Amino acid sequence: MITKRIVPCLDVKDGRVVKGIQFVELRDAGDPVELAKVYDEQGADELVFLDISASHEGRKTMVEVVQDVASQLAIPFTVGGGINSLEDMKRILRAGADKVSLNTAAVLNPELITIGADYFGTQCIVIAIDAKWDEALGSWRVYTHGGRQKTDREVISWAQEAVERGAGEILLTSMDRDGEKRGFDLALTKAISEAVSVPVIASGGAGEAQHFFEVFTEGLADAALAASIFHYKETSVSEVKNFLKARGVNMR
């Protein structure tokens, strides 16, 4: 049986971890290196580091901060933000990342997924998808540039294309639920989990341990990502994992 993973996320802007609601109203949440160390000690299964303004500002991810965070970790580490080429991927992996996360660049140039997967292997390539329900579309729409730009892509078909091109994992964020702490978008997560053959990391909406249970059992997610409830010490990774284990969820 596949084990489920708990994945804290560091959304980094100007060298600091920040968190907002539906991608706006960002507030400071601490130092990324210190938080990485805490999550490693708490038993996090992996860590995700997203330089959330890199693509919007047209610059590269902060290699120095990535190196500093990687030095604190003994767990797999995914880095995203401003990665637009094979050279960018090499730079981030050399800095200590285990996987690279592509979002805006992959939508603008889908061939980049294949290039990365061919060079590093599919296990290295995570496709991050920012999804928002669109009434006119009757489904979820893909957004890019840190949730700022609407695209003409529908989320399920984009996830399937990304996997066909070589994505080894999907990091799926519900923009509708992001930062609201009222639970993951179970319909969205289930739709993607059933549509692709690779692991799906659910993101957006975690507010309590029960929400993780729901996204694993009803949403069929392979992993669940959270930020603010961990950053602001509303609960801890170890507390969530103990809650899930007590309810029969097979945790890593």
4 touches 252 (CB < 8 A): yes
What is the predicted pLDDT for the residue at 109? 97
Q: Which of 175, 128, 171 is nearest to 150 (CA)?
A: 175
- Average pLDDT, integer, range 138-151: 93
Q: Domain locations in the chain?
A: 5-246
Nearest-Å Rg of the Cα atoms of the chain is 16
Amino acid present at 164: E
20-24, 44-48, 134-138, 171-175: the lowest-pLDDT one? 20-24
Which residues are catalytically annotated?
11, 130
CA atoms in the 13 A half-sphere facing the CB of 121: 5
For range 176-181, the mean pLDDT: 89
Nearest one of 10, 174, 140, 185 to 80, comparing CA atoms: 10
Q: What is the mean pLDDT of residues 76-97?
A: 94
* Average pLDDT across the chain, whole number: 91
pLDDT confidence of 150, banded at 50, 70, 90? very high
The bridge status of strand 125-134 relative to strand 139-144 is: antiparallel
Please measure the distance between the N-terminal and C-terminal CA atoms of the chain and give it in whole angstroms: 11
- Is the pLDDT at 115 greater than 80? The verdict is yes
**For the chain, how many residues are written?**
252
Q: What is the predicted pLDDT for the residue at 198?
A: 98
User: Among residues of the chain, what percentage have pLDDT more than 90?
Assistant: 75
Positive or negative torsion for Cα 186, 192, 198, 202: negative
Query: Which CATH architecture best describes the domain 5-246?
Result: Alpha-Beta Barrel (3.20)
pLDDT tens per residue across span 7-64: 999 988 877 888 666 555 666 777 888 999 999 999 999 999 988 765 555 555 578 8
CA distances from 3 to 171, 245, 249, 250 (A): 17, 11, 8, 5
CB 100 within 8 A of CB 51: no
What residues form DSSP beta bridges with 144? 149
pLDDT, residue 23, reads 52
Here the contacts of 56-60 (C-beta below 8 Å, separation 24 or greater) are 56/145, 56/146, 56/148, 58/82, 60/88, 60/91
Give residue 55's pLDDT. Answer: 53
Asked if 206 and 226 count as a contact pair (C-beta separation under 8 A), the reply is yes
